[in-house]
Amino acid sequence: MIKLRKYLHAAIAGFGAAIMVSSAAAQDADRPRLHTNESYIAKVTRTDTLAINDPMAVFAYVHGSLPERVKVYPTENHYYFAFVHNGTRYAGNIKIDARLRDKGKVMFVYYEEQATWLDDTPGTELILDMSRGVTVDKVEPLAYRLTYRGKSVVFALNDLSQVRPPTKALAPDEQFIGPIFDESAVRFFLVFNAKLKLFHYILDETVNPADVFVPAAAANSRILIGKRTGFAVYRDHHRDRKILIGVYEGNVLTNNYFDGPFDQIPDNFIEGGSFRQAILAVEPDLKGKIDRYGGFADGSRYVVAPYMQYRSPKNLEIFHRCATSLRIPPASYYRCFVLVPGQEHGANARPLAMQRNSR
């Protein structure tokens, strides 16, 4: 009986120790990751032998460094990466392009990370398929396996097929184009106003936004700016929602994760020709020139970016002045949150509703 108690006590002690280790591991998993200057210096000062001018060598390095399955969060299906090579930081992506993947092709891009104080250096972009030894196989409705040199990686695309905006978040004349998961981790709804012929990005608040939005100015709680992303949104006067009105210009110039959702169109969730028809309502001259994804024959795409590239939070005040102006007809209210492509941004910007012949 005494011997049995000893075994029992030992088992209980071991079980307790296992719980403590498991609890400690769980606690560590809940903590933020620590990044040190020491590790940064070690990374930028080390030398390596990667053949940076050989695209297939770089692809082999990137692909070979990935686990067997990865998650592609952004809705235009870019799997982004970055690395430091002999003191220079490079960035790029493997794009599981909706127009190419079922043809056994994917896009691969990499370039020296852009800096505002230097001219951009040419990047490398190529299409990978069997001709380069890369096979692309569909293994699930939203998952593709890329195989190269005997190594396979499954790219699981972000399934947002059940995501819809709340009914109260849409204006009567608006059509939901699709859900957007930006590379910044902020989610939006892309909507099209058929009556006014304009697009909006609406902040998706059915989940907790991956940012903290604070008033741009103490005197105005309508304009909010994300602390992490710099995304600026406007609290709609007429319905419970926030409209994207600006992204910080510095982020656009450096082409980082916070340059705006224009490059994350919800390709996997566009219904039929709805997006193309919306674009043609705005730009009738593009009939016959774009596909259902808004893509041109040369691989470029129609850009949906109705928001401002702001240089100072003060630049954003023009949206509020427009939205509260007695000179703007109520029917033109939502034109207050759209800038015409190619027009002035920053201090001299004027929303569509404040321009002549726009009403």
Both 46 and 189 in one domain: the answer is: no
d(CA 89, CA 111): 9
Both 134 and 228 in one domain: the answer is: no
Both 255 and 349 in one domain: the answer is: yes
Stated pTM of the model: 0.88
Is 323 within a domain? yes
Both 243 and 322 in one domain: the answer is: yes
Show the domain range for 49: 41-157
Is 25 within a domain? no
Is 309 within a domain? yes
SS3 sequence, 286-299?
Answer: HCCCCCCCCECCCC
Both 200 and 129 in one domain: the answer is: no
**What does the pLDDT read at residue 355?**
87
**What does the pLDDT read at residue 162?**
96
d(CA 331, CA 235): 18
**What does the pLDDT read at residue 2?**
46
Is 59 within a domain? yes
d(CA 315, CA 317): 6
Both 152 and 173 in one domain: the answer is: no
Torsion on CA atoms 63, 65, 69, 73, rounded to nearest 10? -80
Both 143 and 213 in one domain: the answer is: no
Nearest alpha-carbon partner for 307 in 226, 197, 199: 199
Both 209 and 118 in one domain: the answer is: no
Tens of pLDDT, residue by residue, the chain (359 residues): 444 445 445 554 555 555 555 555 566 778 999 999 999 999 999 999 999 999 999 999 999 999 999 999 999 999 999 999 999 999 999 999 999 999 999 999 999 998 888 888 899 999 999 999 999 999 999 999 999 999 999 999 999 999 999 999 999 999 999 999 999 999 999 999 999 999 999 999 999 999 999 999 877 889 999 999 999 999 999 999 999 999 999 999 999 999 999 999 999 999 999 999 999 999 999 999 999 999 999 989 999 999 999 999 999 999 999 999 999 999 999 999 999 877 778 788 999 999 876 54
Q: Which of 110, 129, 157 finishes a domain?
A: 157
Count of structural domains within the chain: 2
